[in-house]
Amino acid sequence: MARYIFVTGGVVSSLGKGLSSASLAFLLKSQGFNVRLRKMDPYLNIDPGTMSPFQHGEVFVTDDGAETDLDLGHYERFTNISARKSDNVTTGKIYSDILKKERKGEYLGKTVQVIPHVTDQIKEFIKKDITNEDFVICEIGGTVGDIESLPFLEAIRQFSNEDGYNKSLFVHLTLVPFLKSSDEIKTKPTQHSVKELRSLGIQPDIIICRSEKPIPLDQRKKISLFCNVRYKNVIETVDVKTIYEAPKSFYDEKLDKQVLSFFKIKPKRKVNLRPWNKITKTILNSKNEVNIALIGKYVNLKDAYKSLDEALTHGGIKNNVKVNMLRLDSEKLKNREINQNLKKVSGILIPGGFGKRGTDGKIMSIRFARELKIPFLGICFGMQLAVIEFARNVLKIKNAGSSELDTKCEPVVGLMEEWDKNGLIIKGSNMDLGGTMRLGSYNAKLRHNSLIKKIYKKSYISERHRHRYEVNFNIKEKFEKKGMIFSGSSPDNKLTEIVELKSHPWFIGVQFHPEFKSRPLYPHPLFSSFIKAAKKNK
């Protein structure tokens, strides 16, 4: 029987609801329970796929090809449970489904309204695709008090009275600020936030208080009294040095214990925190360091490359080194800065990206990595640009490019729809850019005796994709003669998945996004190998 845990947030945004939900999910899973994590986002976009990373951070891609909120990345990293399309919904998606139904006449002429139709649709989402889960943790995006999240809060209230009766638990995460001037911890914002939630008919069962400093007992008692929550269920979460300390910190605060006792269930086995303790120790105590340059358009917003940052950290854990990221804005990189900055680093990474802005700086950096034999990892757009750089500077095809960036170029990268039946790109074709993206998990076949095969130790791999353009596989002979090996392809040999350089210690471009599948407890082999090569290059 599934029990539902609804996680809301109050006072301010960015309190770490995603991390709290993910940590709780880990603790429950570790005690032998089946857990699913879901996120409801109150914005009107149908999914974050079209949102700028500047606005919304990274778009996380699931195995089944959904473009989702980056919190699903935290869920996967903490629980190692692959998220699905059905684990993320937005107001936009709810309304779009309702409007489709309305056009089909499925409401039988009724007036379509927020209550019951929108709330019913949300309740459908909460229950959908649930089979043998013991716990479904549903995080509600936004902050209590926002207009946008009202239908979601109303829906979970209704749910707790219907299908979820006696099976629902409400967790509310709030900020407990510390005022320097009076040297005091303040509980009033929490009291107000809970008051707001109660005015919507939701009484929280557990309050998680995010605080800079430990919350004294009398203040916890005050929160308990004013918010009508049992004293034991006032849980504090004090800022941690690395996010991977979070499961232990919630365990110490007995969050999982209170959840199980609420539902009157006994754990099936003991929580195993040893692997987490080990990795936090490595992260915090590693004496060795490597510097990696991350060259992209969105480097000023930390969350824009969330999974990538984490995957690099995981590679560091595997090699017992601390990874320092030098984030360079590709738009501002000119030749002189490239020499100055990249001399200091042991590895260069070009992440995924879209559009022409900043590509010159990226291409110059790739040339630097290729010629000076610095370990290089190009992801998706990064791989496409590595192929373009090689075509221009080694094969001397001066106007080699991607039809995404320049319709007049010699396209070594282009839309599949632009290819003729021999697989050659039809030059100058004016295709509509609205072609579908290749999204989600696809297999790739790895070439014998290649570096990539040595890294994965497998002939076939499955990785997540999110791109529209392809490196033309049919031009590979020309490249291979000069030393760029097309060492991975789709199983039907039509699409290029991986390129590498023969006479370079570590230069790999991949069309997919390995960062989505890296876990702190199971670092991805590609990132482990990249960091190992960078460590050697120090």
Residue among 263 and 354 whose Cβ is closer to ligand GLN: 354
Please identify, among the stretches 82-90, 106-114, 226-234, 350-358, the one whose residues bind ligand GLN according to the rule CB under 6 A.
350-358
State yes or no: is 515 an active-site residue: yes
Q: Cα–chain-centroid distance for residue 297?
A: 17
Residue 380 interacts with ligand GLN (CB under 6 A)?
yes
Residue among 135 and 381 whose Cβ is closer to ligand GLN: 381
- In this structure, the strands spanning 184-185 and 178-179 are antiparallel
Question: Contacting ligand GLN (CB under 6 A), which of 48, 73, 151, 353?
Answer: 353
Residue 404 interacts with ligand GLN (CB under 6 A)?
yes
Distance in Å, CB of 415 to ligand GLN, minimum:
9
Please identify, among the stretches 99-107, 176-184, 352-360, 369-377, the one whose residues bind ligand GLN according to the rule CB under 6 A.
352-360
Distance in Å, CB of 405 to ligand GLN, minimum:
9
Rg (CA), the chain: 25
Distance in Å, CB of 404 to ligand GLN, minimum:
5
- What the block records as the tokens of 97 is 């489904």
Residue 48 interacts with ligand GLN (CB under 6 A)?
no
Residue 18 interacts with ligand GLN (CB under 6 A)?
no
Measured CA to CA, the distance from residue 339 to residue 367 in angstroms comes to 11
- Which of 465, 504, 513, 524 is the catalytic position? 513
Residue 431 interacts with ligand GLN (CB under 6 A)?
no
Distance in Å, CB of 470 to ligand GLN, minimum:
7
Distance in Å, CB of 383 to ligand GLN, minimum:
8
Distance in Å, CB of 355 to ligand GLN, minimum:
7
Which residue is listed with tokens 């979460």? 237
Residue 381 interacts with ligand GLN (CB under 6 A)?
yes
Centre a 10 Å sphere on the Cβ of residue 200 and count the other Cβ atoms it contains.
15
Distance in Å, CB of 171 to ligand GLN, minimum:
34
Q: Which residues pair with 460 in a beta bridge?
A: 445
3-state secondary structure of 290: strand
Ranges of H-type helices in 427-524: 451-456, 476-481
Residues 458-477 that bind ligand GLN (CB under 6 A): 466-469
DSSP string of 415-447, one letter each residue: EGGGB-TTS-B-TT----TTPPPEEEEEEEEEP
Residue among 101 and 468 whose Cβ is closer to ligand GLN: 468
| Alpha-carbon separation of residue 433 from 332, 430, 464, 497 (angstroms) | 27, 9, 22, 21
Among 152, 147, 120, 145, which Cα is nearest to 40's?
Answer: 152
Residue 515 interacts with ligand GLN (CB under 6 A)?
no
- Which of 138, 209, 380, 409 is the catalytic position? 380
Q: Phi first, then psi: give them for residue 512, nearest 5 degrees.
A: -100, 180
Residue among 357 and 502 whose Cβ is closer to ligand GLN: 357
Please identify, among the stretches 75-83, 122-130, 138-146, 346-354, the one whose residues bind ligand GLN according to the rule CB under 6 A.
346-354
- Which of 138, 500, 515, 524 is the catalytic position? 515
Measured CA to CA, the distance from residue 324 to residue 293 in angstroms comes to 9
Residue type, 33: F
Residue among 354 and 473 whose Cβ is closer to ligand GLN: 354
Residue among 314 and 466 whose Cβ is closer to ligand GLN: 466
Residue 429 burial (C-beta neighbours within 10 Å; 0-12, 13-18, 19+): middle
State yes or no: is 184 an active-site residue: no
Residue 352 interacts with ligand GLN (CB under 6 A)?
yes
The DSSP element (H or E) to which 486 belongs, if any, is strand 484-489
Residues 280-339 that bind ligand GLN (CB under 6 A): none
- Return the residue nearest ligand GLN (CB atom): 352
Using the 8-state DSSP alphabet, how is residue 466 labeled?
A: E
In b/e form, how buried is each residue of 450-487, taking b as 16+ CB within 10 angstroms? bbbbebbeeeebebbbbbbbbbbbebbeebeeeebbbb
Residue among 10 and 353 whose Cβ is closer to ligand GLN: 353
State yes or no: is 380 an active-site residue: yes
HSE-up (13 A, CA, CB side) for residue 524 = 24
Q: Phi first, then psi: give them for residue 400, nearest 5 degrees.
A: -60, 140
Residue among 353 and 358 whose Cβ is closer to ligand GLN: 353
Distance in Å, CB of 413 to ligand GLN, minimum:
7
Measured CA to CA, the distance from residue 125 to residue 94 in angstroms comes to 9
- The residues of the shown chain that bind ligand GLN, judged by CB under 6 A, are 352-354, 380-381, 404, 466-469
| Positions marked active-site | 380, 513, 515
